[in-house]
Structure 1
Amino acid sequence: MSTPRHERPIRLGTRRSHLAVTQSTHVADALRARGHEVELVEVTTEGDINLAPLAQMGGTGVFAAALRQALLSGEVDMAVHSLKDLPVAREPGLVVAGIPTREDPRDILVARDGLTLGELPAGAVVGTGSPRRAAQLQALGLGLEIRDIRGNIDTRMGFVTKGEMDAVVLARAGLARVGRTDEASETIDPLQMLPAPGQGALALECREDDEVTRAVLAELDDADTRAAVTAERAVLDALEAGCAAPVGALAEIVEEPDGTLEISLRAFVGATDGSLELRRSEVGPYDDPQGIGERLARTLLDDGAAAVIPPREPRQQTPRVETTTESERSK
């Protein structure tokens, strides 16, 4: 059965940052390759124009709020989010209809002189805007000085090239999408640093009642990626933690000798000062990612995780939305 098609170009909402536009263009190209017409619509979000610490603005959900409002108001037909920035609480009226195959979910180190984490001297200054990364860096006991940073990829890497910091930690997927992984010193082993739940994956969101767009986006859905990120985000949800909480999780699909598939899930919860470090794991059936994540969260809570998890960010207030279409930019 053929997928229904829009009578006009699909309006794809994206943040205006270089990385966001790049990853949205990848999605648009994948849809175009399947015969759909697509027009990018840039949406200005609070997280793009306000460089205050994310915790002060309500967490990483500030990146999704304006895109979701543009969807609900009918200004765009779909939105592309970095899944790690998407709040776990479902937005009424919207649905994540497609989750494409994820990029490498690991974190990456960009350091002066090509140094690795283990080679950084005690007292080295490492920048990150993520409490999760800060907690795991402190847990390594390397004597690093962690500083909070914000900004796009160029801004963050510029702290190193300008000599203001010894290193910064970024998501490898972001550098991969803009073709700059060769500038990294080290891809960090998950044994040292578990990524954010959903890191490296994209969420393709549309209105729940838009059956045509839902069917189109389902063409790009990858079952293994959806299963893995569902398990990871179930940990966040059951911990009642927000996207900016010091929580890491990584699920992997494992094939057993008898051919059955299982999900192997690891998670981290820690204090940003290194005073608490919890690493736990859970294995379960492929068709129960939600249950696996919930069971692992219960284990973490039983072992004291609640002590370091801040309250979940409140639902974002309706933002002021500014949009710019591709055709308007070309004038």
Structure 2
Amino acid sequence: MKLRLGTRASVLARTQSGMVADSITEAAARRGVELEVELVMIRTEGDVNRQSLVGISQTGVFVNALRDALMAGVCDVIVHSLKDIPTAAHADLELAAIPAREDVRDALCTRGESLADLPQGARVGTGSPRRAAQIKALRPDLNVEGLRGNIDTRLGKLDDGLDAVVLAAAGLSRIGRSEAATQLLEPTEMLPAPGQGALAVEIMPDADPTWADAVRDLDDIATRQAVTAERALLGVLDAGCAAPVGAYATVKGGTLTLRSRVINGSGTLALNETSTGPASEANSLGRRTGFTLLGRGAARLMGGS
């Protein structure tokens, strides 16, 4: 049986999708089903439009074309970086699996300096307002600049005027470039984006269970609970993936701990909140935390500098 997996054409997207394809094949084999998974390249608005993501409806910019292809029957399965997906569930699609999460941390890439050792006024590149705000909070003297492009393009900016760039550790790991990270920034100093490090696998709800159940086998319950809380918080804040909002949930012994931060663009003001509760109530815990942050003035911080 042949399965078509829709993916963006970037090196990272193809690598991630290839990993999922291999996992689906293995899960199917355990069920006694022989599957051949081929990648189908889909171009998205985020790939075509070269302006800053901050200006082009960030949430869903890499997602909609893939979803359209799935619903049109161009492919059978699609893979996203979870943090790119709008927080509201898609009415016509099934989020069949959220595999075990990769490293959630942000990675500082320099020519050898740590964040503390960068010279005053050093130029740091990132396309994320969340990263930019938290870098400014840690080092107000640095100059943070916008950045677009694939991982290699961003790393290339270290030879083209920038002193540092900040990327997701998970992305570097998946394409075999972990050595490019000079320093991994712990969540205690830089909270990741909600869903960072996790992938999402979507299918049609009426997909053939012969292979669809193999896709569902990839789901990791602890990862799903953690990112559910993070994304529920983000949904209450009505903020996209590029908003200056950090959230990181962990699950241990059935208890979920959610740490969250909303920070203004200049990094001078931040709201921090930590919540705990049963992992089985991840969605309500995330929503409660979001409303707590709103009550403390989060909307003003998200819209301010």
Cα-to-partner distance string for 1:254-296 (whole Å, 9 max, x where unaligned):
23xxxxx200110111111123211111001111100111111
Alignment partners' CA distance in 1, 2:59 and 2:148: 12
Contact 1:31 1:37 in 2 (8 A): no
The secondary structure found in structure 2 opposite 1:62 is coil
Q: Compare 271-280 and 172-181 and name the one that shifted more.
A: 271-280
Give the whole-Å Cα distance in 1 for the aligned partners of 2:194 and 2:208: 28
For the residue of structure 1 that corresponds to 2:280, the secondary structure is coil
Partner of 2:32: none
Task: Give the match for residue 108 of structure 2.
Answer: 109
Shift of 1:67: 0.3
Question: In 2, distance between residues paired with 1:93 and 1:220?
Answer: 21
- Alpha carbons of 1:119 and 1:142: their partners in 2 closer, same or farther (altered >3 Å)? farther
Which digits, 9 at most, give the CA deviation of each residue in 1:290-320, with x for residues without a partner?
Answer: 011111111211111011335xxxxxxxxxx
* Equivalent residue, structure 2, for 1:290: 283
The separation in 2 between residues aligned to 1:99 and 1:119, in whole angstroms, is 37
Contact 1:109 1:187 (C-alpha < 8 Å) held by counterparts: yes
For each residue in 1:70-118, what CA deviation from the matched residue of structure 2 results, as whole angstroms up to 9, or x when unmatched?
0111111110000011111222211110010010111001012x11111
Other-structure match for 2:86: 87
Which consecutive unaligned segments of at least 5 residues does structure 2 have?
30-34
Match of 2:228 among 218, 227, 230: 230
2:177 paired residue number: 180
Q: How does 1:265-276 map to 2 (within 5 A)?
A: 265-276=258-269
Gaps of 5+ in 1: 1-7, 256-260, 311-331
Conserved 8 A contact 1:270-1:278: yes
Which residue number corresponds to residue 193 of structure 1?
190
Q: Which residues of 2 match residues 131-170 of structure 1 at below 5 A? A: 131-160=129-158, 162-170=159-167
1:37 corresponds to? 36
TM-score, length-normalised on structure 1?
0.87
CA distance in 1, matches of 2:7, 2:301: 33
Provide the residue aligned with 2:65 in structure 1: 66
- List structure 1 segments (4+ residues) > 4 angstroms apart after TM superposition: none
What is the letter of the counterpart of residue 25 of structure 1? Answer: G
Identity between Structure 1 and Structure 2 (%)? 51
- The answer to whether 1:9 aligns with 2:9 is no
Q: Give the superposition deviation at 1:245.
A: 1.0
| Conserved 8 A contact 1:54-1:60 | no
Instruction: Give the Å deviation of 1:211.
Output: 4.8
Question: 2:203 and 2:162 mapped to 1: Cα distance?
Answer: 40
Letter in 2 for 1:245: A
Q: Verify the 8 A CA contact 1:262 1:284 in the aligned structure 2.
A: yes
Check whether the contact 2:265–2:302 (CA below 8 A) recurs between aligned residues. Answer: no
Shift of 1:216: 2.4
Query: Which residue pairs with 1:262 in the alignment?
Result: 255
In 1, Cα distance between the equivalents of 2:94 and 2:123? Answer: 41
Count residues in correspondence: 296
Q: CA RMSD in A?
A: 1.2
Q: Is the 8 A contact 2:12 2:174 kept in 1?
A: yes
Which letter does structure 2 place at the counterpart of 1:94? Answer: L
The 1:10/1:180 distance shift into structure 2, 3 A limit, reads same
CA distance in 1, matches of 2:212, 2:192: 29
Range with bigger deviation, 132-141 or 197-206: 132-141
2:121 is the alignment partner of 1:123:
yes
The aligned amino acid for 1:159 is: K
TM-score (normalised: structure 2): 0.94
